[in-house]
């Protein structure tokens, strides 16, 4: 499990290492993100009143290529760092700085004797989904005319542009 007992952090850091966590993380609701093995590695240490969790999550996700619309599997390894504080552990004054400066680490407040990092690991996985997915650098995509997948077949349209601007150019001759 992705939890650490606070008292085990009093004298030393704790390493959390887990595999196959899709269900624990609630990622089984998003099958495209939950293909196993999903691996988490995290070091948790206590720095004065702050609990620092640093690590990575590694896995594979099933994406759809934006160019050819085929599904493909993509590996990722995402690093994270999170800070935790006990609820009620007052932070001195600067509540106004709501916006985190670039590179700053978010602080999460929690209660109890156990620190659970599952939420933040889940978020790291969700943030690993790329805005734009391309199955491979040289994906040729779909033919704009007939829609065939140009990675696997070629069609009659290829090479001939039906864009009227080009046919106009064809008849253009320098004076």
Residues lying near Zn ion in the complex (CB under 5 A): 65, 67-68, 135, 139, 143, 145-146, 155, 157
Q: CB of residue 127 vs Zn ion: minimum separation in angstroms?
A: 23
**Which residue lies nearer to Zn ion by CB, 86 or 157?**
157
- CA-based torsion, 101, 107, 108, 109: positive or negative: negative
Dist. CA 160–CA 140, nearest whole Å = 16
> At its nearest, how many Å lie between Zn ion and the CB of residue 55?
32
Minimum distance from CB of 168 to Zn ion (Å)?
22
Tokens of 174: 């320098």
Which CB, 54 or 67, lies closer to Zn ion? 67
Minimum separation from the CB atom of position 75 to Zn ion (A): 16
Give 108 or 148: the residue with its C-beta nearer to Zn ion.
148
Closest to Zn ion by CB, 107 or 160: 160
Instruction: Please say which residue, 110 or 141, places its beta carbon nearer to Zn ion.
Output: 141
Strand pairing class (71-86; 107-110): parallel
Tell me the closest approach of the beta carbon of residue 74 to Zn ion, in angstroms: 11
Phi and psi torsions of 137, nearest 5°: -50, -45
């Amino acid at each position: 499990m992705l939890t650490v007992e606070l008292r085990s952090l009093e004298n030393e850091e704790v390493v959390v290492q887990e595999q196959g966590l899709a269900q624990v993380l609630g990622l089984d609701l998003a099958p495209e993100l939950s293909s196993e093995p999903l691996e988490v590695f995290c070091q948790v240490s206590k720095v004065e009143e702050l609990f620092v969790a640093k690590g990575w999550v590694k896995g594979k996700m099933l994406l759809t290529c934006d160019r050819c619309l085929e599904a493909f599997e993509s590996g990722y390894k995402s690093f994270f760092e999170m800070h935790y504080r006990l609820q009620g552990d007052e932070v001195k004054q600067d509540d106004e700085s709501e916006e985190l400066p670039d590179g700053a680490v978010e602080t999460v407040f929690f209660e109890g004797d156990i620190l659970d990092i599952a939420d933040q690991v889940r978020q790291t996985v969700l943030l690993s989904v790329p805005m734009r997915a391309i199955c491979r650098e040289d994906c040729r995509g779909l033919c704009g005319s007939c829609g065939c997948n140009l990675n696997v077949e070629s069609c009659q349209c290829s090479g001939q542009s039906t864009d009227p601007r080009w046919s106009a150019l064809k008849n253009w001759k320098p004076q």
